[in-house]
């Protein structure tokens, strides 16, 4: 299967990721005419498409999950 980005040409944003058995380009069959299908192994939803290049949005840093308070800590809080 080949991974493809579906791009909204009104906004130039990647709006979906799909897989096809063969490489596709252009308007995806059965979808609206303002959508574009581009093969990409690395494109992500929210990325931008310009001049044939998909640029992914910046990664959001995840915050560490704090350890839960134990019963004694809860009583003393």
- 11-37 pLDDT, tens digit per residue, is 999 999 999 999 988 888 888 889 999
Contacts of 19 (CB under 8 A, 6+ apart): 1, 2, 3, 4
- Is 76 within a domain? no
- Is 61 within a domain? no
Check residue 26 and give its pLDDT.
86
- Is 39 within a domain? yes
- Is 11 within a domain? yes
Say how many domains are in the chain.
1
- Is 34 within a domain? yes
Q: Which domain holds residue 21?
A: 2-55
- Is 69 within a domain? no
């Amino acid at each position: 299967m080949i991974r493809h980005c579906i791009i909204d040409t009104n906004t130039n944003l990647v709006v979906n990721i799909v897989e096809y058995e063969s490489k596709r380009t252009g308007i995806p069959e059965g979808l609206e005419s303002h959508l574009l299908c581009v093969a990409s192994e690395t494109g992500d939803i929210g990325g931008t498409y310009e001049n044939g290049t998909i640029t992914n949005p910046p990664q959001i840093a995840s915050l560490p999950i704090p350890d839960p308070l134990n019963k004694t800590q809860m009583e003393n809080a």
